Structure 1
Amino acid sequence: MIAALLIAGAAIAHATWNIAMKRAGTSGTPFIAATLVVGVVIFAPFGVSALIAAPPTTSAVVPLVLGSAGLQLAYFLLLQRAYRLADVGVVYPVARGTGPLLSVIGAVLLLGERPGLVALAGAALVVAGVVVIGTAAARAPIGERDSTARRWRGIRYGAAVGVVIAAYTLWDAAAVTRADLEPVGYYWASMVVQLGVLLPLALRERGALARTVREHPVAIGLVGALSPLAYVAVLVAYTLAPVSIVAPAREVSVVLIALAGWLLLREPHPVRRLLGSVIVLAGIALLGLG
């Protein structure tokens, strides 16, 4: 029950910050650095307290934190570029479908998990549902000349983002389950490293950084606060349930983002979005039974 509540809360937070970032229409180092400042500051009391209360006992903590930071930076920068060059309704569902599919495979092959047939069927339905949503969102209005190129660009970028999602999912899951690192302190340390890499680069573009902060304070605040909140909730869920269950189940956020893409961003084809959403929810129901 606790894992389910964590996954549901993470899905809402994740969908919210993705929409905020898409609507901001900005990208690049200044934006990411600004969001990291917000996240590091907000979560500092919790991260520091967690590290003091449960100091790491393994020498692998440094490479684990550095690896997590590198994968998270790759995810954010690639996702921003994808959102700038393609529709969120294509990139997001494809990424969130590819990610859990590869995560389940990785959990079986690398983490030794053995999900039951019902759970595997649920994971398959989740992936199928996001494919339905993605193909619906990819269908641009008739008469748009670059619709085919834009659609395939979105699919390519979405798949690439999905590979990174699977990589950081398995990496961080191993950190909090196999290496027994405390999730809040671990991810806060990862954010500190990310900020240490990006802030010097952002300060080289002081004008762009100041303009980004001035023009997008709401988006920066939402992404900075909700992104780490969502991910820490998922990390805690990994300690309570198998990765092969949690990784697909968190994709309920695809349903939220698909509906928001239609209602808020005016992206087309609501019927297929709704159909795909029903398939995703059916898959998540099976995951719960599994």
Structure 2
Amino acid sequence: MSTLALLMVLGASVAHALWNIAAKSSSGDTTVFVWMYYTAGAMLCLPVGLTLLVMRGDSYGWELLYAAMITALLHITYAMLLQTGYRKADLGVVYPVARGVGPVLTIVVAVAVLGERPETLALVGGLVIIGGILIVTGRRLFQRASGLGAGLLYGSATGAAIAAYTLWDNYSVNDLAIEPILYFGFSGAVQCLIMLPWVIRKRALIRPTWRSDRRQVGIIAALSPLAYVLVLYAMTTTSVALVAPVRESSIVIGALLAWWLFKEPDPVRRVAGALVVVVGISLVAVS
């Protein structure tokens, strides 16, 4: 991985951890909240993408529409699972599990479906990531009162969604050669349209959600596109099998912030587990 690609992915990791902290602190309706930050993010990115399209004279056919449609559905699934998980369990469980499962599944699909053959070190790294996740979740995994079972469930489901959109987005910006920022902005607009019927049914909740969460919406609208566009650009120069795990260095930041800001329990165990996950990520990255 080049130095520039590594810096882009690490910068994306910091932005990603910070916007997840903002998402955790939201209190309004989940569907309306997700729709709001998708809309605001698209409003920021789409004009920039269209400007680049005109300046470069690029042209796209149906591939832009169906690529954006598929990633929009995958991202909506991801966001709803993530936000629901944050409502039912600690960020210090949901976030590391989701960000750990995602790269492991990406490696599995790359080997079983795409025919890639990663080195043994990468496979060992995947096992280390799983071990770190088990440390984070702890022994009381399935005790309902602790919320850890819910954290594992929603974290794992979110991780599966992460793997799905990571692989699809890699295909879109490389095989379909779609400009990353245009791709993100256009898919954000599609996400808004897909969710609009649900939001209309909950229109009475739009104003109270905006009053309670407008600061979080602004933070996520700025940091989420920044995080993902950086990753998309990194994917154009580096294998997705490296980008996917390295970006999960955000796990350590998220675990520390969850303890500091939300006073979530067992900080030593959770940070230790997060560090083990990072060791696994490092093994995958250097393989």
TM-score clears 0.5: yes
Pick one of 190, 211, 231 that aligns with 1:214: 211
Alignment of 1:1-290 (within 5 A): 1-52=3-54, 53=56, 55-57=58-60, 59-135=62-138, 146-148=144-146, 150-290=147-287
Query: In 2, distance between residues paired with 1:177 and 1:187?
Result: 14
1:95-120 CA distance string (max 9 Å, x none): 11211111111123334433323333
1:58 Cα deviation from its structure 2 partner: 5.2
Structure 1 residues 26 and 211: alpha-carbon distance in aligned structure 2, compared to 1, 3 A threshold: closer
Q: Once the two structures are aligned, what percentage of the paired residues are identical? A: 40
Contact 2:28–2:212 (Cα < 8 Å) also in 1 = no
1:66 Cα deviation from its structure 2 partner: 0.6
Partner of 2:19, secondary structure, is helix
Query: In 2, distance between residues paired with 1:197 and 1:241?
Result: 31
Contact 2:71–2:169 (Cα < 8 Å) also in 1 = yes
Contact 2:141–2:148 (Cα < 8 Å) also in 1 = yes
Gaps of 5+ in 2: none
Structure 1 residues 197 and 263: alpha-carbon distance in aligned structure 2, compared to 1, 3 A threshold: same
1:190-216 CA distance string (max 9 Å, x none): 001011122343244333111111111
Moved more, 276-285 or 89-98: 276-285
> What RMSD in Å do the two structures reach over aligned CA positions?
2.2
Gaps of 5+ in 1: none
Partner of 1:181, secondary structure, is coil
Partner of 2:167, secondary structure, is helix
Contact 1:113–1:244 (Cα < 8 Å) also in 2 = no
Structure 1 residues 84 and 77: alpha-carbon distance in aligned structure 2, compared to 1, 3 A threshold: same
1:56 Cα deviation from its structure 2 partner: 4.6
Structure 1 residues 238 and 135: alpha-carbon distance in aligned structure 2, compared to 1, 3 A threshold: farther
Partner of 2:138, secondary structure, is helix
TM-score (norm 1): 0.89
**Count of residue correspondences:** 284
Query: In 1, distance between residues paired with 2:192 and 2:58?
Result: 22
Query: In 2, distance between residues paired with 1:177 and 1:109?
Result: 20
